Structure 1
Amino acid sequence: MNSMQPTFTSIREARRWASLFLQQHQREPRVADLLLEHFLNWTPSQLLAYDNEPMPEEVKRDFVQSVRQHVDTGVPVQHLTGIGHFYGREFQVNKDVLIPRPETEELVLGVIDFIRAKNLKAPKIVDLGTGSGVIAITLAAELPGSDVRGVDLSEEALRIAEKNAAQHGTDVRFYQGDFLESLVEESFDVIVSNPPYIAHSEKEQMDDTVVDFDPGMALFAEEEGLAAYKTILTQVTHMKKKPKCIAFEIGHEQGESVTALFDALLPELFTEVRQDINGKDRMVFAFSR
């Protein structure tokens, strides 16, 4: 059945065919709109206003192929379009980087709020495990005059991050390395990180869209998902000058264990666990007293 071309002619019919096809195969029907907007190069409101228009033949072929590919393999929409959205901006993404998640926007907002509340002029910020660069680049764009660095172990990820930084006209400096390793001599006001935090044992329960397409090194960590936090905090203990704020994204069951790591390694910091929009523990913020 898959080989037959669907018979729709208008954009509205294309949308209906795709939504239904996705639903029948337990995929998000909303993917239909995202792919249509991409292939037509339209905004969501154009899609609603002009859905009587005929579907252009060359768009139809690519659209149908992408919808089917998503159904068959779970390949994320962002890999089909090459674009991930974060904090109101578009970023290039591919298989070498984690697709940006809306929860991470709250981590960024927390950092921005801290810097504004403390009235820090030209703050020094480092984003550890920067991936596509979304956290570092967003902070640089939202906080003009700040000195922002990004670090990642993956050369491929840094290549994308550099492209994204240039595209947004931000002056972020990127380093290849293991978290703070090469920057331990420096001092920073804020350390922010969305590191790998999923335990390997949880892989079985995860969605194919994530497991098969997000890079494993961005998802999974040893020691029940706590290894990255332990590494970073141990590195911080070697810094001459401790940061004013450390902001971590965490797994929703890691609030207590990450707080315990802070208490063990950096007891002089004051920690708080914060929830995301869905009311799940999602961040640990630590402040110098």
Structure 2
Amino acid sequence: MLHSSGGRPPNPRGLLIAEVAQATQRLADAGVPSPRFDAEELAAYVHGVKRGELHMVPDTDFDARYWEAVSRREAREPLQHITGRAFFRYLELQVGPGVFVPRPETESVAGWAIEAVRAMDVAEPLIVDLCTGSGAIALALAQEVPRSRVHAVELDEGAYGWAAKNVEGSRVTLHHGDALTALPELDGQVDLVVSNPPYIPLTEWEYVAPEARDHDPQLALFSGEDGLSTIRGLERTAHRLLRPGGLVVIEHADTQGGQVPWIFTEDRGWADAADHPDLNNRPRFATARREVP
């Protein structure tokens, strides 16, 4: 809805600020976790500016399509599906229906992996990202570790399509296949295996946020009664792929911090298994080193 200025010069801030405030209240009432941010991000998207430039949009340029976007978010459609983009570390990714939207907490996983690879005495580190989804982690590693050779694996056909768009023109080699049997040609050669796998217990379906439960691929969310079925399989895959001394990094739920490191035990060929917190100081990912004989 456009408001008349009553013959006064357009106020470059007044209208949009009022509309964003109204949208923020609507999103808050709908249970959206970050209503102000989402209201501003939608306004920026619709008006073709950055969030920090919203004050530059004059009253006369207000686009009524904003309310269509707000209604979609109000119905708990993911923000990133509406805008078609997701931000991850230094990346802007294409996302939409059929692919898991990367979360901020996964940036901690990617950050640890990047620092670990940089610390390796390897000229061209070989990295494998299993269950790559949009390709976020693989692309971050390829971008921030310039001499790395990165392979990414995705099973879900829809997610693979989005990953293919994102990795186009990058140094990431994308593979369509099962993470549990992937890349036998690289066995024993990989420096680092990283994964953000499905880890939600099937018993917790009703507690999952609507944005994920109703829009993210089920294959990317749920993994057995305790949520650890895929991680148990990835433990074997990582051990197969890694060279002696190579590292594995696997994301998990904040409630699984006491369980995942115990999957990477000494009797299965691992050393230094440990858990790590995310930026909110919640247990978020486990790491281990393939034992050196």
Same fold by TM-score greater than 0.5: yes
Instruction: Tell me what 1:262 maps to.
Output: 264
Whether the 8 Å CA contact 2:239–2:269 is kept in 1: the answer is no
Are the structure 2 counterparts of residues 100 and 270 from structure 1 closer, same or farther at C-alpha, using a change threshold of 3 Å? same
1:85 partner SS: strand
More moved, 263-272 vs 130-139 = 263-272
Instruction: Tell me what 1:40 maps to.
Output: 47
What amino acid is aligned across from residue 45 of structure 2 in structure 1?
A: H
Q: Structure 2 CA distance, aligned partners of 1:175 and 1:8?
A: 55
For residues 91-111 of structure 1, what are the alpha-carbon distances to aligned partners after superposition, in whole Å with 9 as ceiling and x for unaligned?
Answer: 000121111111111111111
Q: Are 1:277 and 2:284 matched, yes or no?
A: no
For residues 50-78 of structure 1, what are the alpha-carbon distances to aligned partners after superposition, in whole Å with 9 as ceiling and x for unaligned?
Answer: 25x11536x21x2101101221x200110
Are the structure 2 counterparts of residues 149 and 158 from structure 1 closer, same or farther at C-alpha, using a change threshold of 3 Å? same
Are the structure 2 counterparts of residues 219 and 242 from structure 1 closer, same or farther at C-alpha, using a change threshold of 3 Å? farther
Instruction: Tell me what 1:15 maps to.
Output: 20
Whether the 8 Å CA contact 2:167–2:174 is kept in 1: the answer is no
Q: Are 1:141 and 2:143 matched, yes or no?
A: yes
What amino acid is aligned across from residue 155 of structure 1 in structure 2?
A: E
Gaps of 5+ in 1: none
Instruction: Tell me what 2:68 maps to.
Output: 65
Are the structure 2 counterparts of residues 7 and 274 from structure 1 closer, same or farther at C-alpha, using a change threshold of 3 Å? same
1:189 partner SS: strand
Instruction: Tell me what 2:12 maps to.
Output: none
Q: Structure 2 CA distance, aligned partners of 1:121 and 1:266?
A: 29
What amino acid is aligned across from residue 31 of structure 1 in structure 2?
A: D
What amino acid is aligned across from residue 66 of structure 1 in structure 2?
A: A
Are the structure 2 counterparts of residues 66 and 8 from structure 1 closer, same or farther at C-alpha, using a change threshold of 3 Å? farther
Q: Structure 1 CA distance, aligned partners of 2:19 and 2:181?
A: 51
Are the structure 2 counterparts of residues 252 and 81 from structure 1 closer, same or farther at C-alpha, using a change threshold of 3 Å? same
More moved, 195-204 vs 251-260 = 251-260
Instruction: Tell me what 1:251 maps to.
Output: 253
Whether the 8 Å CA contact 2:141–2:150 is kept in 1: the answer is yes
> Which of 175, 190, 194 does residue 192 from structure 2 map onto?
190
* TM-score (normalised: structure 2): 0.88
How far off is 1:47 after superposition?
0.9
How far off is 1:120 after superposition?
2.3
1:67-82 alignment to 2 at 5 Å? 67-71=70-74, 73-82=75-84
> Which of 193, 196, 201 does residue 199 from structure 1 map onto?
201
Runs of 4+ in structure 1 deviating by more than 6 angstroms, as ranges, are: none
More moved, 20-29 vs 171-180 = 20-29
What amino acid is aligned across from residue 176 of structure 1 in structure 2?
A: H
Percent identity over the alignment is 30
Instruction: Tell me what 1:178 maps to.
Output: 178
Whether the 8 Å CA contact 1:273–1:285 is kept in 2: the answer is yes
> Which of 158, 162, 165 does residue 164 from structure 2 map onto?
162
RMSD between aligned residues: 2.0
For residues 5-44 of structure 1, what are the alpha-carbon distances to aligned partners after superposition, in whole Å with 9 as ceiling and x for unaligned?
Answer: 5858722222122122223333323211010110111112
Gaps of 5+ in 2: 6-14
Alignment size in residue pairs: 278
Whether the 8 Å CA contact 1:233–1:265 is kept in 2: the answer is no
1:150 partner SS: strand
Q: Are 1:26 and 2:35 matched, yes or no?
A: no
More moved, 6-15 vs 273-282 = 6-15
More moved, 236-245 vs 197-206 = 236-245
1:29 partner SS: helix
Identify the structure with the greater helix proportion.
1
How far off is 1:131 after superposition?
0.5
